[in-house]
Amino acid sequence: MVKSPDIKPIIEENRKTITELLSGSDTHKRLNNVNWLRHELAYTEPKTLFYIPNKDQLPYLDYNCMKNIGEAYDYIIENYNKQIDSTEICKIHSILCTNTHIYGGMLRTSNKIIEIKINNQRYKAPEAVYIIPSLNDIVFKLYDPKIPSLNKAFELHYDLIALQPFDDFNKRTARLIMNWFLIQSGYRPIVFNKTPDKQKYINALTERLNGNIKTYNEYMYSCLKRTQNEIIKLLKKSKIL
């Protein structure tokens, strides 16, 4: 069995390369970087990942949903240094739910059993009474200096999905909060914008729910590295017309 290469050093080199390409660069390059990420996160990624319901179901993906994702990303960029806490997680969810059937920013309070269904496997989310203390634990881990930043980002994403703090839109909220923390930690957001991500993303979550942290992390590392490479390519060819 061939051991898979460790891509973490490559990610750190890419991070330095992006920083160098942006340091002292003109506004054009910086705007290209921000606008490309916004477009991929708000339009390409949702079209790649979201399940499209049949005509009898409420729409999970429409122009309004994509607009909300873009505005949530704008909020993150404008407040990138703001401490991520339970209030800010609810704020992002609230923006994502604007003009939808979901009550934005409201933690679920129902005592009914919530099941997470991924790849036809079912998992019970914690009862509503545990949401607030669990959110506090999630936030506390973010500021533990003993845990590497990337591990904290990936666990933040997973923990929010496993907790299911809201009635809906938990995964899209988790992805944006993860990306917010990545930006604060000196990285770029992860973009799930390739056709295979629709199934690979779900497979990675299934592995993590089954306790296979390594496989889940490897997928997240690979997507971060891929996003970095796309940004580097964009920055290298950016020119003022």
Domain extent, residue 117, equals 23-236
Give the pTM: 0.92
Q: Is 84 domain-assigned?
A: yes
Q: Is 2 domain-assigned?
A: no
pLDDT of residue 59: 60
Share of the chain above pLDDT 90, in %: 76
Confidence of residue 1 (pLDDT cuts 50, 70, 90): very low
Burial class (CB in 10 A: 0-12, 13-18, 19+), 86: middle
CA distances from 127 to 78, 118, 133, 166 (A): 34, 19, 11, 12
pLDDT over 80 at 25, yes or no: no
Q: Is 10 domain-assigned?
A: no
In this structure, what CATH number is given to the domain that contains residue 90? Answer: 1.10.3290.10
Confidence of residue 215 (pLDDT cuts 50, 70, 90): very high
Confidence of residue 2 (pLDDT cuts 50, 70, 90): very low
Q: Is 168 domain-assigned?
A: yes
Is the model more confident about 32 or about 108? 108
Q: Is 7 domain-assigned?
A: no
Instruction: Report CA dihedral (75, 81, 83, 86) to the nearest 10 degrees.
Output: 20
pLDDT of residue 54: 63
Q: How many domains does the chain have?
A: 1
pLDDT of residue 123: 84
pLDDT over 80 at 111, yes or no: no
Q: Is 107 domain-assigned?
A: yes
Express each pLDDT in 55-77 by its tens digit: 665 566 788 999 999 999 999 99
Q: Is 58 domain-assigned?
A: yes
Q: Is 241 domain-assigned?
A: no
